[in-house]
Amino acid sequence: MDLCASTLELLGMVVYMAAWLCALATTLMPQWLTLSTDLLLTESYELGLWETCVVQDMGGMECRPYDSLLGLPQDIKVARVFMCISLAVGLLGLLLAIPGLHLVNSFSQGLEGCRAKRIMKVAGGVLGMVAGVLSLVPVSYVAHLTVMRYFDESVPEVVPRWEFGDALFCGWVGGFLLLVAGLLLFVSCLGPLADHSRGPQPKNQPWHSG
């Protein structure tokens, strides 16, 4: 395996782990949407997938988990499902890609071992890209609905509007990095297989009759 492919796979794994942690943080953060009003200038509200929070200007925060899944808005329920599936698929991709790394001695060194490592790494890369798409879908969906509601002319201007929170930007970064990581792992598998178990083969010598 050449130096370029080894560098690509290591870079892909580093980006993969960072992206998965970013997606995990996005799922747990309560700052998916934020809201502040002119009536209560000292307080702002934050909406997440698992809880809502009231933030005081003095630095205090009080969070309360949702009482019932049935009472959640449709976009929050969809985002929950997609983000959880994204984390599961991404973690599975990581577990498949690690044995396929060139530096991990997980298979025999023959041609079959190299082929098995390549299959594992390709599978991990593909699952990483799938996890990236699954992460970008709910974040973009919630952002789209937020924009539509913000500019809804049927709602009076005095009614406070929800705005983008930090979790949405974190989710976009995590989803994009998952796509990049999966692509790096896939690209590192391009090229012919090399069988390192066999030494140099002797050249065929012409046969001379005695």
User: Domain ranges in the chain?
Assistant: 3-31+73-188
Which stretch, 19-33, 46-60, 99-113, has highest mean pLDDT? Answer: 19-33
pLDDT value at residue 99: 87
153: Cβ contacts below 8 Å, ≥ 6 apart: none
Tell me, what amino acid is at 57? D
Cβ atoms within 10 Å, residue 143: 18
Give pLDDT, residue 201.
44
- Among 27-36, 152-161, 164-173, name the one with the lowest average pLDDT: 152-161
Residue 115 has pLDDT above 80, yes or no: yes
**Arithmetic mean of pLDDT, 123-149:** 95
Average pLDDT over residues 32-48: 83
From residue 172, alpha-carbon distances to 131, 183, 190 in Å are: 12, 17, 28
CATH code that applies to domain 3-31+73-188: 1.20.140.150
Mean pLDDT of 61-68: 87
- For the record, the structure tokens of 4 come out as 């370029």
Structure confidence at residue 193 (pLDDT): 57
Given a cut of 50, whether residue 92 has pLDDT beyond it is yes
> What pTM did the predictor assign?
0.83
Cα–Cα nearest to 94, from 174, 178, 172: 178
* pLDDT above 60 for 139: yes
